[in-house]
Amino acid sequence: MAMHPSRSCFSVLVVVYLLQCKLFFVHCILNPLDFLALQSVRKSLDDMPGSNFFASWDFTSDPCNFAGVYCESDRVIALNLGDPRAGSPGLIGRLDPAIGKLSALTELSVVPGRIMGSLPQSISQLKDLRFLAVSRNFLSGGIPATLGQLRNLKTLDLSYNQLTGDIPRSIGTIPGLSNVILSHNHISGSIPPFLSETLTRLELKHNELSGYILPTSLPPSLQYLSLSWNRLSGPVDLLLSRLDRLNYLDLSMNQLSGCIPSRIFTFPITNLQLQRNSFSGPVQPGGQVTIPTVDLSYNRLSGGISPLFSTVQSLYLNNNRFTGQIPGSFADRLLDASIQILYLQHNYLTGMQINPTVEIPLSSSLCLQYNCMVPPIQTPCPLKAGKEKTRPTGQCNEWRG
């Protein structure tokens, strides 16, 4: 029976590899399949000018001593391509499909550089892979749906590339995922459900994602959620109410609507970014807000400003539809420098009890212009606030009516 051409070719390569060991007196402990895969990887990549990462990749010596290659017994278990030091020029070329032959691999990473082409489908053969990171390169094409076969994967980082298409639903089914970082690509479609109960970080910012986010699509284990600069729409109050372990939340620059749940202000968040959406209705925290930075600007929020926000260090409520008097607790905390930024411009506020002769501490910024009042104290505002100090009376009367 004739031998399959590919098997015949591989057999020849294995013989060449073993002869090479004898000719150069190399102690060849590496599995022949891994050796040949590393050769293919090397042929498809080069150092960019200023990088000498591949200087140690001399195949007449033991590949387990190569830079970025880590072995256990006779198998390659980790491959970190490129000099990891900050500012390193990185590598240029493509990822060869032979990388999928490194069947014992648990970790695969590539430093920032100029890796082009698509992510090889063969990576889905690496059943033990736990860590896959190829960020800040020029990968294009879609995210292979077969990555969902990597059932041991914990971290997936393909950020800052030129990937297109959607996020395969199969990735959301990987049971032990902890970190998914796909930001700064051209990914479209909706966010699939993520079923992992250990998912703590989800970064999808700066893409072209659209549609609703289902209330049960993200697990309550999430601690870091960044979905900004997309085209996501619809309400998220039911979703957010479940994510009570969040310490960072950025949903800014979308088309999200509905109310902001009061419960969110009790979460252990250090930075809350909900600006530039279409959130509406009143905002009523359930207790004193201890989140250091809260940005709700450029929405359609209305009603009075709650005094429970006066404990926030940097508060952006500008460009909304807030009405009524500004609670006196804000003035007190401004004057003792507890508030660093208080932006209330472009609302329908009618007053603030503060002595017009006091001086705001240099470490604090207050902007009140373009409301239904003459600002009781003159303070410098950001350029975006414009030059008009007061909202036209007609607009104020219409809003009151």
- Please, which pLDDT band fits residue 398 given cuts at 50, 70 and 90? confident
Q: Is 1's pLDDT higher than 70? A: no
Structure tokens at 283: 């905002």
Integer angstrom CA distances of residue 176 from 19, 169, 200, 223, 225? 43, 15, 11, 15, 17
pLDDT at 141: 98
pLDDT at 10: 46
Candidate from 12-26, 222-236, 256-270, 360-374 with smallest mean pLDDT? 12-26
pLDDT tens track for 138-193: 999 999 999 999 999 999 999 999 999 999 999 999 999 999 999 999 999 999 99
> In whole angstroms, what is the distance from residue 182 CA to residue 83 CA?
22
Query: What is the percent of the chain with per-residue pLDDT over 90, rounded to a whole number?
Result: 87
- Please, which pLDDT band fits residue 27 given cuts at 50, 70 and 90? very low
Q: Residue 316's closest CA among 348, 272, 284, 351?
A: 272
Q: Residue 179's closest CA among 160, 169, 194?
A: 194
The pTM for the full model equals: 0.92
